[in-house]
């Protein structure tokens, strides 16, 4: 692991690339409580949340609202939040894509900005 003249050597590059992949796509566990009095997010652990939504649990309305709430919570556009598992259950798993798709090629250029 050595850095020479602002360039990343192969060992450091592979470690950095793996770290970015982990940061890029984060899976979070969410317990949803539909028909609540107000919309709110409660963080239980670093990857587990409880979310209360006003929307009813019918025709995907609550799931859509949860996506909107998560996007707002993480400060991301709606297309970066994806429901992976639990479409018809209270316990769900969402994928949060925190970085844009053009983030990795900046590291592949070989230099550090």
Query: DSSP character for 79?
Result: G
For the chain, the domain total comes to 1
For residue 110, tell me if it sits in a domain. Answer: no
User: Structural domain of residue 59, as residue ranges?
Assistant: 26-99
Sign of the C-alpha dihedral, residues 83, 23, 97, 57?
positive
For residue 43, tell me if it sits in a domain. Answer: yes
For residue 92, tell me if it sits in a domain. Answer: yes
For residue 88, tell me if it sits in a domain. Answer: yes
What phi, psi does 9 have (nearest 5°)?
Answer: -75, 165
Question: pLDDT in tens for each of the 113 residues of the chain?
Answer: 444 555 444 555 555 555 555 556 889 999 999 999 999 999 999 899 999 999 999 999 999 999 999 999 988 899 999 999 999 999 999 999 876 543 333 334 444 44
- b/e per residue, 51-77, with b = 16+ CB within 10 A? bbbebebeeeebbebbbebbbeebebe
How far is the C-alpha of 11 from the C-alpha of 82, rounded, in Å? 32
Give the H/E segment covering residue 31: strand 25-33
For residue 70, tell me if it sits in a domain. Answer: yes
For residue 10, tell me if it sits in a domain. Answer: no
Domain containing residue 42: CATH number: 3.30.1200.10
For residue 82, tell me if it sits in a domain. Answer: yes
β-strand 25-33 against 48-52: which pairing, if any? parallel
For residue 65, tell me if it sits in a domain. Answer: yes
Whether the CB-CB separation of 42 and 58 falls below 8 Å is answered with no
């Amino acid at each position: 692991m050595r850095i020479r003249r602002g360039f990343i050597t192969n060992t450091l590059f592979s470690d950095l690339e793996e770290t970015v992949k982990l940061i890029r796509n984060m899976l979070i566990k969410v317990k949803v409580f539909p028909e609540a009095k107000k919309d709110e997010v409660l963080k239980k652990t670093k990857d587990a949340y409880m979310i209360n939504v006003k929307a009813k649990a019918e025709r995907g309305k609550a799931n859509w609202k949860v996506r909107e709430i998560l996007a707002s919570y993480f400060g991301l556009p709606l297309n970066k939040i994806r429901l992976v598992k639990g479409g018809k259950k209270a316990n769900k798993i969402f994928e949060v894509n925190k970085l844009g798709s053009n983030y990795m090629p900046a590291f592949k250029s070989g230099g550090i900005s």
